[in-house]
């Protein structure tokens, strides 16, 4: 691996499998500090994290970080080293972090850096849910792609959870350039309305805390560039609601919904559509937008009850 790094002008370097890289590799990478744009450090062992602050990556634009299974209980001192390094990455645009300990505290310190302007932030897991992280998330006004789980610790006091939630919604409502949002945070209608009013050109939504009722579908209908919706939480949408939704988005001036796809993962079985209705919905979305309609249902309680008596 080190022989590869003797090449001049390395622009991209990625490690994905279990490895033994560390200080020597990082020193070699520093020889390409001016050319290195994309860096992927996955399955890093504890020894690598201990020396990560020696990296010099002033022109880095895209970064993916993931510790190995044995490095997911790193001491806070290591997190401090990661912060020192990331704060120097002032050209960073895309950041993806998976299962890194102390993610919230690390990012709270990094995101408030006025010299860092992310366009994409993908978090696969939050180890804890410090309110400070959500407060500083709002500093990243250039974000276009945000994928972030909610954090709900059963040991937390309700007031702490509410404070985190309020700060997250506030951050989303302060953005203006979001194009893609992936989250399982639960939203109230007024909260979701504030988010989409501030980010009217959202194109893709993956939501797992979405409301059941038609008011949420009406809010989605106000987005003129929406092209993909996946709702993973329980829904209870009627045929009339969908018909009105299709009419709303088609009637928008200068709308662009080409290739629109809509996926429901847990439609209430009490609102189950017939095969003919499902076919009509799919045909309508194909005819109007050249897209597709997908739907799955929650298990019918009556069916589950009947199965208890089957042979």
99 contacts 124 by C-beta, under 8 angstroms: yes
Cα(12)–Cα(37) distance, integer angstroms: 6
Q: Would you say residue 76 has pLDDT above 60?
A: yes
Per-residue pLDDT band at 309 (split at 50, 70, 90) = very low
Q: Is the pLDDT of residue 8 over 80?
A: no
Residue 307 pLDDT > 70:
no
Is there a contact between 53 and 77 (Cβ–Cβ < 8 Å)?
no
**Three-state secondary-structure class, residue 33:** coil
- DSSP 8-state code for residue 98: -
Domains in the chain (CATH in brackets) are 1-74 (no CATH), 75-307 (3.80.10.10)
- Spatial distance between the Cα atoms of 73 and 151, rounded to a whole number of angstroms: 18
Ranking 54-63, 71-80, 160-169, 197-206 by mean pLDDT, the lowest is 71-80
Q: pLDDT tens digits, residue range 137-167?
A: 999 999 999 998 765 455 556 666 788 889 9
Q: What angle do CA 91, 94, 97 make, to 5 degrees?
A: 120
Measured in degrees and rounded to the nearest 5, phi and psi for residue 34 equal: -80, -25
The answer, yes or no, to whether residue 287 has pLDDT greater than 90, is yes
Q: What is the pLDDT of residues 189-225, one digit of tens each?
A: 999 999 999 999 999 999 987 777 788 899 999 999 9
Q: Say if CB 164 and CB 131 are below 8 A apart.
A: yes
Half-sphere exposure (Cβ direction) of 279: Cα atoms closer than 13 Å: 3
Q: What is the pTM of this model?
A: 0.89
Q: What b/e readout covers 132-151, taking b as 16+ CB neighbours within 10 angstroms?
A: bbbbbbbbbeebbbbebebb
Find the range with the poorest average confidence among 35-49, 61-75, 236-250. Answer: 61-75
Q: What are phi and psi of 294, to 5 degrees?
A: -130, 140
Q: How many residues does the chain have?
A: 311
């Amino acid at each position: 691996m080190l022989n590869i790094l003797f090449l001049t002008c390395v622009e991209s370097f990625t490690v994905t499998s279990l490895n033994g890289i560390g200080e020597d590799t990082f020193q070699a990478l520093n020889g390409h500090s001016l050319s290195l744009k994309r860096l992927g450090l996955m399955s890093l062992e504890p020894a690598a994290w201990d020396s990560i602050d020696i990296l010099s990556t002033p022109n880095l634009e895209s970064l993916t970080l993931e510790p190995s299974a044995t490095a997911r209980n790193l001491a806070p001192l290591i997190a401090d080293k990661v912060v020192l390094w990331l704060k120097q990455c002032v050209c960073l645009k895309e950041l993806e972090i998976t299962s890194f300990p102390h993610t919230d505290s690390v990012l709270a310190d990094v995101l408030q850096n006025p010299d860092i302007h992310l366009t994409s932030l993908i978090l696969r897991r939050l180890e804890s849910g410090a309110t400070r992280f959500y407060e500083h998330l709002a500093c990243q006004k250039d974000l276009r792609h945000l994928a972030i789980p909610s954090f709900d610790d059963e040991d937390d006091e309700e007031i702490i959870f509410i404070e985190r939630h309020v700060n997250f919604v506030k951050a989303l409502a302060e953005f203006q350039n979001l194009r893609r949002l992936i989250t399982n945070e639960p939203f109230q209608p007024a909260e979701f309305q504030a988010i989409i009013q501030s980010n009217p050109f959202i194109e893709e939504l993956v939501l797992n805390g979405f409301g059941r009722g038609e008011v949420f579908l009406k809010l989605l209908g106000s987005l003129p560039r929406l092209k993909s919706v996946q709702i993973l939480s329980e829904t209870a949408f009627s045929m009339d609601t969908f018909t009105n939704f299709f009419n709303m988005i088609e009637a928008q001036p200068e709308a662009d919904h080409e290739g629109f796809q809509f996926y429901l993962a847990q439609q209430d079985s009490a609102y189950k559509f017939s095969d003919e209705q499902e076919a009509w919905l799919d045909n309508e979305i194909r005819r109007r937008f050249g897209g597709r309609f997908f739907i799955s249902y929650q298990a019918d309680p009556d069916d589950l009850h009947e199965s208890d008596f089957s042979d």
